[in-house]
Amino acid sequence: MQRIRLTFLGVLAAVSLAIPIVAGANPPHDEQIEARRDLRAGNVHSLRDIERQVLPTMRGLQYLGPEYDPEAMAYRLKFIRDGRVVFVDVDARTGQVRGHR
Protein backbone atom coordinates (compact mmCIF):
# COMPACT_ATOMS: atom_id res chain seq x y z
CA MET A 1 0.00 0.00 0.00
CA GLN A 2 2.85 2.37 0.86
CA ARG A 3 4.54 1.62 -2.48
CA ILE A 4 1.32 2.45 -4.40
CA ARG A 5 0.94 5.70 -2.46
CA LEU A 6 4.55 6.71 -3.21
CA THR A 7 4.12 5.85 -6.90
CA PHE A 8 0.93 7.89 -7.04
CA LEU A 9 2.62 10.86 -5.35
CA GLY A 10 5.55 10.60 -7.77
CA VAL A 11 3.24 10.65 -10.78
CA LEU A 12 1.26 13.53 -9.29
CA ALA A 13 4.47 15.52 -8.72
CA ALA A 14 5.65 14.90 -12.29
CA VAL A 15 2.32 16.01 -13.71
CA SER A 16 2.22 19.12 -11.55
CA LEU A 17 5.68 20.09 -12.77
CA ALA A 18 4.62 19.68 -16.39
CA ILE A 19 1.47 21.80 -16.09
CA PRO A 20 3.24 25.20 -16.21
CA ILE A 21 5.12 24.09 -19.31
CA VAL A 22 1.94 23.04 -21.11
CA ALA A 23 0.00 26.11 -19.92
CA GLY A 24 2.74 28.40 -21.20
CA ALA A 25 2.90 26.77 -24.61
CA ASN A 26 1.39 28.55 -27.57
CA PRO A 27 -2.11 27.34 -28.42
CA PRO A 28 -2.43 25.37 -31.65
CA HIS A 29 -2.93 27.49 -34.76
CA ASP A 30 -6.56 27.46 -35.83
CA GLU A 31 -6.75 26.92 -39.58
CA GLN A 32 -10.41 27.94 -39.61
CA ILE A 33 -9.54 31.40 -38.27
CA GLU A 34 -6.82 31.76 -40.89
CA ALA A 35 -9.18 30.69 -43.69
CA ARG A 36 -11.79 33.24 -42.60
CA ARG A 37 -9.18 35.98 -42.40
CA ASP A 38 -7.89 35.21 -45.89
CA LEU A 39 -11.45 35.00 -47.27
CA ARG A 40 -12.44 38.36 -45.73
CA ALA A 41 -9.29 39.92 -47.17
CA GLY A 42 -10.35 38.66 -50.61
CA ASN A 43 -7.23 36.52 -50.97
CA VAL A 44 -8.94 33.14 -51.39
CA HIS A 45 -12.10 31.48 -52.70
CA SER A 46 -14.59 30.24 -50.14
CA LEU A 47 -14.51 26.60 -49.14
CA ARG A 48 -18.08 26.26 -50.43
CA ASP A 49 -16.99 27.43 -53.88
CA ILE A 50 -14.07 25.00 -53.87
CA GLU A 51 -16.28 22.11 -52.74
CA ARG A 52 -18.92 23.01 -55.34
CA GLN A 53 -16.23 22.72 -58.01
CA VAL A 54 -14.39 19.60 -56.81
CA LEU A 55 -16.97 17.31 -55.17
CA PRO A 56 -18.90 16.51 -58.38
CA THR A 57 -15.66 15.29 -59.98
CA MET A 58 -14.98 12.80 -57.17
CA ARG A 59 -17.81 10.33 -57.83
CA GLY A 60 -17.65 7.09 -55.92
CA LEU A 61 -15.57 8.60 -53.12
CA GLN A 62 -16.87 9.59 -49.71
CA TYR A 63 -15.97 13.15 -48.71
CA LEU A 64 -14.40 13.30 -45.25
CA GLY A 65 -13.73 17.04 -45.02
CA PRO A 66 -11.31 19.88 -45.66
CA GLU A 67 -8.13 21.30 -44.20
CA TYR A 68 -6.72 24.75 -44.91
CA ASP A 69 -3.03 25.57 -45.12
CA PRO A 70 -2.63 29.33 -44.61
CA GLU A 71 1.04 29.35 -45.60
CA ALA A 72 0.37 27.66 -48.95
CA MET A 73 -3.08 29.28 -49.27
CA ALA A 74 -4.43 25.87 -50.23
CA TYR A 75 -7.30 23.63 -49.31
CA ARG A 76 -6.78 19.89 -48.93
CA LEU A 77 -9.98 17.93 -49.42
CA LYS A 78 -9.96 14.42 -47.99
CA PHE A 79 -11.88 11.50 -49.53
CA ILE A 80 -12.01 7.75 -48.97
CA ARG A 81 -12.98 4.75 -51.09
CA ASP A 82 -12.49 1.08 -50.26
CA GLY A 83 -10.27 1.99 -47.31
CA ARG A 84 -7.98 4.13 -49.48
CA VAL A 85 -7.62 7.82 -48.59
CA VAL A 86 -7.36 10.33 -51.43
CA PHE A 87 -6.30 13.94 -50.94
CA VAL A 88 -7.12 16.67 -53.45
CA ASP A 89 -5.02 19.81 -53.11
CA VAL A 90 -6.65 23.00 -54.40
CA ASP A 91 -5.08 26.45 -54.74
CA ALA A 92 -7.35 28.62 -52.59
CA ARG A 93 -6.44 31.77 -54.54
CA THR A 94 -7.33 30.47 -58.00
CA GLY A 95 -9.57 27.48 -57.27
CA GLN A 96 -7.37 25.28 -59.48
CA VAL A 97 -6.74 21.69 -58.46
CA ARG A 98 -3.01 21.26 -57.80
CA GLY A 99 -3.07 17.50 -57.61
CA HIS A 100 -4.38 14.24 -56.15
CA ARG A 101 -2.61 11.96 -53.68
For 18-74, write each residue's pLDDT tens digit.
444 444 444 456 878 888 888 899 889 999 999 999 999 999 999 999 999 999 999
| Beta carbons within 8 Å of 87's beta carbon, 6+ residues apart | 76, 77, 78, 79, 100, 101
Q: Which residue has the higher pLDDT, 69 or 13?
A: 69
